[in-house]
Amino acid sequence: MNNKPYILLAEDDEVLSTILTQRFKSEGIDIVLTKDGEQTLKILKEKKPQILILDLLLPKMNGLKILKKINKDPKLKNIPVIICSNLSDDETIQKAKSLHAKEYLIKSDYSIDEIIEKITSYLKKK
């Protein structure tokens, strides 16, 4: 196994997921993309990432349900989760943070460069 950082990106927006995937790879970071909640949980259990970047609006299972399942699983609960969503209401943000999301990024408030920078700096801290 290589020593490259490994990120799991749960994002169903084709354009954003393509851009993020290409940018992380150019930074030397391995990234796996999932496009729905069920697939995200399956991959999480197979290969534990250093970070999960999680959109909340996903098909088959939303991000808050994924967070609840992660928190109930002793093998998954220590995986840092960074929410990257356009849901910006206080109730959703507080719910995600109460479920141990490390950070909550509102997509429309950040450029792609800022998202990449935040996540790569978080990887460096680990």
Residue 76's pLDDT band, with cuts at 50, 70 and 90, is very high
Q: Is residue 22 part of a domain?
A: yes
Number of structural domains in the chain: 1
Q: Is residue 29 part of a domain?
A: yes
Q: Is residue 97 part of a domain?
A: yes
Tokens of 22: 């290409």
Q: Is residue 33 part of a domain?
A: yes
CA angle (41, 106, 103) in 5-degree steps: 60
- State mean pLDDT over 89-93: 95
* pLDDT score at 4: 75
Percent of the chain whose pLDDT exceeds 70: 97
Q: Is residue 31 part of a domain?
A: yes
3-state secondary structure of 7: strand
Q: Is 1's pLDDT higher than 50?
A: no
- Alpha carbons 10 and 16: distance in angstroms, whole number: 11
Q: In what order do the strands lie in the sheet with 30-34?
A: 30-34, 6-10, 51-54, 81-85, 103-106
Residue 52: which CATH number?
A: 3.40.50.2300
The pTM score is 0.92
Domain that holds residue 21: 6-125
Q: Is residue 44 part of a domain?
A: yes
Element (H, E) at 97: helix 90-98
Q: Is residue 1 part of a domain?
A: no
Q: Is residue 86 part of a domain?
A: yes
Selection from 38, 122, 30 nearest residue 84 by Cα: 122
